[in-house]
Structures are given as C-alpha cells and as structure tokens.
Amino acid sequence: MTQTLIGGVIAAVPTPVDNHGNIDGDAFLEHARWCLTNGCDFLNVLGTTGEANSLSAAKRSALMTTAASAV
C-alpha cells in the first residue's frame, strides 16, 4: 500500500449561515478563497466546528460542491 502524507496549512473553515439556517454560499466562497490565496494548502470543510451534525445531507452535499468550486 502506498501512503500519501498531507502537509502544509490546513484551515478549518466555518460554515456561515443566515438567520433562517441556510448556508451563505457567497460568504463561504469569499472566506475559502481568501484562505487559499493567503497561504492555506487545504480546507477542512464540515470537519471541526460542529455544523455538520446540524445540517441535512442535502445541505452538506451542496456545501461540498460549493467548496470544490473554490479550488
């Protein structure tokens, strides 16, 4: 088995939501692109700030699609 090591700066990116609990995709993209432009090598989306457990599968999928568009 081949092992790949991940290194560099991995940013935990929070998920911005509006007052109705909807993901603010524009704000997410702005922040994600800022992170990548300013030295982050990877984005940790839905992995550290607890919002994944509060979002439906459809919202999580939509956010991951939005995140992929940032790169």
Q: What are the residues facing 10 on neighbouring strands?
A: 42
CB 29 within 8 A of CB 66: yes
Tokens describing residue 30: 């702005």
Supply the DSSP symbol for 6.
-
> One digit per residue, pLDDT tens: the chain, 71 residues?
788 888 899 999 899 988 998 899 999 999 999 999 999 999 999 977 778 888 899 999 999 998 998 77
Alpha carbon of 59 to those of 3, 5, 42, 43, 54: distances in Å?
Answer: 32, 30, 21, 18, 10
